[in-house]
């Protein structure tokens, strides 16, 4: 049949073709799958990617890890401040006592000048004087040997006392990165589970969970790096302080040796009393 618009039979066919042409796009749009778009739209929610916002959106386990690491960092800086003041005060007193021992001619004179000081170097002098006082008709060599033992033990006790809390800093520096890594692994596992449930690999859906997990590792390094540096600095400072104690012990032994050169040890003993 020829397509003649004046032919009355042409118009029913044209109307049928036009109706089919308009219905095909509408049917295609109606059959288009929309669940993925809806899911992605529902999951792409606004996330606050600041540290505080990531902490609030993190898993409970990751939150516990983060809080623990922040507390560990606070403990490290507290120990740093307290130990810095303690070392400064102890070193200043030790140097002053060493000056007194170096200028004294006898152990009795050193004790008189030291007075009632309770710093470790003064305790070295008092320990030596106590041993001289309790030794009756002592042989000078045996007396000096006993005094040397006592001074060594006094040094060890003072070193142990000044090194308190350093084990805490060392433990934080050694374990904080691994604790942060545990929080990161746990958070990434939860992120992968969420990706599997959402049936989407959209970066906007994946990124917030991974960022929250990596924050735990960042906090672990934030706690560990200062702890390691502080521990190394204090290890050198404590070593210098122990050297001061060794100098004080040597000066006390010199005074004891001088007293032993007298005709009798009782001279030194009576002077110490």
**pTM here?**
0.70
Give the pLDDT score at 81. Answer: 94
Element (H, E) at 45: none
Give the pLDDT score at 73. Answer: 94
Give the pLDDT score at 231. Answer: 95
Q: What is the pLDDT of residues 40-62, one digit of tens each?
A: 444 444 456 676 767 677 778 88
Asked whether the beta carbons of 98 and 120 are under 8 A apart, the reply is: no
Contacts of 94 (CB under 8 A, 6+ apart): 119, 120, 121, 241, 244, 245, 248
Q: What is the pLDDT of residues 236-246, one digit of tens each?
A: 999 999 999 99
Asked whether the beta carbons of 249 and 153 are under 8 A apart, the reply is: no
pLDDT higher than 60, residue 25: no
* Portion of the chain with pLDDT greater than 90, in percent: 32
Tally Cβ neighbours within 10 Å of residue 27.
Answer: 10
pLDDT higher than 80, residue 181: yes
* Portion of the chain with pLDDT greater than 70, in percent: 73
Identify the three-state secondary structure at position 264. Answer: coil
Which of 36, 45, 49 lies closest to 198 in space, CA to CA? 36
221-225 mean pLDDT: 94
Give the pLDDT score at 178. Answer: 94
pLDDT higher than 90, residue 202: no
Rounded Cα gap, residues 199 and 202, in angstroms: 9
């Amino acid at each position: 049949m020829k397509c003649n618009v004046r032919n009355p039979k042409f118009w029913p066919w044209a109307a049928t073709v036009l109706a089919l042409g308009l219905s095909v796009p509408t049917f295609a749009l109606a059959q288009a799958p929309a669940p993925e778009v809806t899911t992605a739209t529902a999951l792409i929610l606004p996330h606050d990617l600041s540290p505080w916002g990531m902490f609030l959106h993190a898993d409970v386990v990751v939150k516990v890890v983060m809080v623990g690491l922040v507390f560990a960092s606070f403990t490290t800086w507290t120990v740093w401040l307290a130990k810095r003041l303690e070392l400064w005060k102890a070193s200043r007193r030790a140097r002053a006592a060493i000056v007194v021992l170096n200028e004294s001619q006898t152990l009795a004179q050193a004790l008189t000048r030291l007075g009632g000081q309770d710093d470790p170097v003064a305790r070295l002098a008092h320990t030596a004087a106590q041993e001289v006082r309790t030794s009756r008709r002592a042989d000078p060599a045996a007396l000096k040997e006993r005094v040397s033992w006592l001074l060594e033990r006094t040094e060890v006790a003072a070193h142990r006392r000044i090194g308190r809390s350093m084990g805490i800093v060392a433990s934080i520096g050694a374990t904080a990165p691994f604790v942060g890594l545990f929080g990161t692994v746990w958070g990434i596992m939860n992120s992968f589970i969420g990706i599997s449930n959402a049936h989407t690999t959209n970066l906007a859906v994946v990124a917030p969970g991974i960022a929250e997990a990596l924050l735990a590792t960042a906090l672990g390094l934030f706690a560990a790096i200062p702890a390691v540096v502080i521990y190394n600095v204090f290890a050198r400072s404590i070593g210098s302080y122990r050297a001061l104690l060794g100098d004080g012990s040597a000066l006390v032994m010199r005074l004891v040796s001088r007293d032993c050169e007298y005709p009798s040890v009782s001279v030194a003993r009576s002077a110490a009393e």
